[in-house]
Amino acid sequence: MRLLVIVILIASSGWSAYWFVGKSIRQAALNNWFNEKSENGWDVQNTLHLRGFPNRFDAIIEDINLNNPKSGLKWSADRLEILQLSYKPNHFIVLGPLEQKLQIFDQKLFITSKKLRGSLVFQTDSEHELDRSTISSEKLIINTSTDTFFAAEKIILALRRKNNTENKYDIALDLKEVFSNKLNFKNYDPDGTMPNEFEILTLDASADFDEPLNQKSFEQKLYNISNFKINKTELEWGSFKLKAVGNLSLDPDGYPNGNITIRATNWEQVFNLVIENRVANKETKNAIRTLFKLFGNISQNNQELEIPLKFSNKKIFIGIIPIANSPKINLY
């Protein structure tokens, strides 16, 4: 019995020492991060507490104010929590603030949510490369001083390393009831015949990054994407449904090359709204209508439209017809 008591006391003392050492390491790391920002010209204010003995390391950061006078960036929040199980030091749970303010020069954003949560799991190797990550939110609203910049009832963004490859990741995005005053639906639908929000917006894709993602990627920059494959993406707006699949690679300047096939269901109402309210020239309207009718006939379904898009030479083509300049994609 005495031996058992001694073993328990030694084990408890060892675990206590481990926890307090781990606490000191994490507290020092966070303080060093804030001090580094101060040394680089940031104005930094915060209150830091670490707790959770014996099984957790919970960093509670309150009254956060970060201000970079050089870039005009300001961020403030009442509370941010970074949680870890003491026996899983490579797994972070982040509970984001339910109210926060972000200012970029003169543009002020007020961000609220019912829930904001993140999970990051890193490899246990020396480089701490990212294995998987998930960010979720409910009732997220981003307001400017005059209107709603963005709002969504539900958001889930997930990133997972694919088959233990060094720099290929599966990406999933799921948004419900997406709304923004910046979309200017009235420009296309002045009579309000369509909903003022997108009911569903989803993306299932995979991406090759130039280098593996690690902890420093989130502190400094995300590496550029060299290849982007769209397994499936969907958008629902009233009765209109849009799907897309394809594969794009990026040239050295960040312009995509490849093909994407778009399938639209119940497309005529949206098509007519856009054509009637955004295309002025009658001949152009008729030419576009004829082209889209042709694609509708090919699909043998008047309510379904299939359009193959080709990205090449910094332009987007339908067949051999260029329809728009291609966007430049760069995460630096």
How confident is the model at residue 159, as a pLDDT?
92
| The pLDDT value given to residue 252 | 78
Q: Mapped to the 3 state alphabet, what secondary structure does the chain carry?
A: CHHHHHHHHHHHHHHHHHHHHHHHHHHHHHHHHHHHHHHCCCEEEEEEEEECCCCEEEEEEEEEEEEECCCCEEEEEEEEEEEEECCCCCEEEEECCCEEEEEECCEEEEEECCEEEEEEEECCCCCCEEEEEEEEEEEEEEECCCCEEEEEEEEEEEEEECCCCCCEEEEEEEEEEEECHHHCHHHHCCCCCCCCCEEEEEEEEEEEECCCCEHHHHHCCCCCEEEEEEEEEEEEECCEEEEEEEEEEECCCCCEEEEEEEEEECCHHHHHHHHHHHCCCHHHHHHHHHHHHHHHHHCCCCCEEEEEEEEECCEEEECCEEEEECCCCCCC
pLDDT of res. 11: 47
- Taking phi over 0 as left and psi of -120 to 50 as alpha, with beta for the rest, 214 belongs to beta
Quick one: pLDDT at residue 133?
Answer: 93
pLDDT given for residue 211 in this prediction:
80
Of 326, 304, 200, nearest to 260 by C-alpha is 326
pLDDT computed for residue 106 by the predictor = 84
Q: What's this model's pTM, rounded to 2 decimal places?
A: 0.83
φ, ψ of residue 20 in degrees (nearest 5): -70, -35
Q: What is the Cβ-side half-sphere exposure of residue 53, based on CA atoms within 13 angstroms? A: 14
Per-residue pLDDT of the chain (332 residues; tens, 9 = 90+): 555 555 455 544 555 565 566 667 777 878 888 888 888 878 888 888 888 777 888 899 999 999 988 888 899 999 999 998 888 888 999 999 999 999 988 889 999 999 999 999 988 776 678 889 999 999 999 998 888 889 999 999 999 988 766 788 999 999 999 998 877 777 777 777 888 889 999 999 998 887 888 777 666 555 667 788 889 999 998 888 999 999 988 887 878 899 999 888 888 777 777 776 655 566 766 777 777 777 766 666 667 888 888 999 888 887 777 877 888 876 55
Phi-psi region of 164 (alpha: psi -120 to 50; beta: other; left: phi over 0): left
User: What pLDDT, on a 0 to 100 scale, did the predictor assign at position 173?
Assistant: 95
The predicted pLDDT at position 17 comes to 63
